[in-house]
């Protein structure tokens, strides 16, 4: 009856959200911007609901890349979340980011961001080399082409990184619908951002009243 230690739980990992900024999104072609923004909202909302230690990092925010997606700031406002702005493409090579990530004391890391082939591959492989168990939310990442994104994911998977999706991440944290303290926030999040699945929840909740 014990769940696998390979599963993610709210207590066993740190989430790192990397460079979800306008300039990075403009050139992203492997996923539609609408879908990417929706998936970012699901991931950020999930981590907020379950109180997951979450690091938000940007690159050259003021001089080049611009502000983070509104969907990310909805759950992690810049004024209170302490975004870490970098110059290095590899988050792992930025000392403040590295210290913030490792200070959480979690051995599992979950990464999402732009672009997959640079800003995700770098910290994923670097963290693995230091013994971390690394997950990447593949549909909350994107790159300048489908080829670039897929080769990056393939490279990381070959190295031992575990791919997950945004909805999978949310539901793996919920795990049991009897967890009533998070049931309403999770279903509300999906009603707002869960596309057809969220619409199904909305329909079911309405029809059960009759």
Q: In this structure, are residues 84 and 58 in contact, taking their beta carbons and an 8 Å threshold?
A: yes
How are strands ordered across the β-sheet holding 108-113? 84-86, 54-59, 13-18, 108-113, 133-137, 162-164
CA distance 22 to 90: 19
* 141 classed as catalytic: no
CA distance 194 to 202: 10
76 DSSP 8-state letter? S
State whether residue 99 is helix, strand or coil.
Answer: helix
Out of 8, 40, 119, 156, pick the active-site residue: 119
| DSSP H/E element including 56 | strand 54-59
Kindly report whether the peptide bond that precedes residue 60 is cis, defined as omega within 30 degrees of 0.
Answer: no
Residues in the chain: 210
Which residues, 6+ apart, have CB-to-CB distance to 78 below 8 Å? 67, 68
Question: Which residue numbers are catalytic?
Answer: 119
């Amino acid at each position: 009856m014990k769940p696998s230690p390979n599963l993610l739980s709210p207590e066993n990992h740190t989430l790192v959200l990397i460079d979800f900024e306008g300039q990075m999104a403009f050139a992203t072609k492997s996923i539609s911007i609408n879908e990417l923004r929706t998936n970012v909202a699901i991931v950020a909302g999930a981590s907020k609901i379950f109180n997951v230690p979450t690091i938000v990092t940007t690159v050259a925010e003021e001089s080049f890349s611009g502000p983070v997606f509104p969907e990310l700031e909805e759950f992690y406002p810049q004024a209170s979340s302490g975004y870490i702005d970098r110059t290095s493409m590899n988050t792992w090579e930025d000392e403040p980011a590295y210290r913030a990530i490792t200070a959480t004391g979690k051995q599992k890391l979950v990464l999402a961001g732009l672009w997959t082939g640079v800003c995700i591959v770098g910290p994923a492989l670097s963290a693995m080399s230091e013994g971390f168990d690394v997950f990447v939310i593949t549909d909350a990442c994107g790159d300048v082409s489908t080829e670039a994104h897929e080769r990056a994911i393939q490279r990381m998977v070959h190295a031992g990184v575990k791919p997950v999706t945004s909805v999978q991440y949310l539901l793996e944290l919920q795990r049991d619908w009897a967890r009533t303290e998070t049931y309403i926030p999770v279903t509300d999040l999906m009603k707002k951002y869960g596309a057809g699945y969220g619409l199904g929840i909305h329909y079911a909740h309405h029809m059960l009243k009759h």
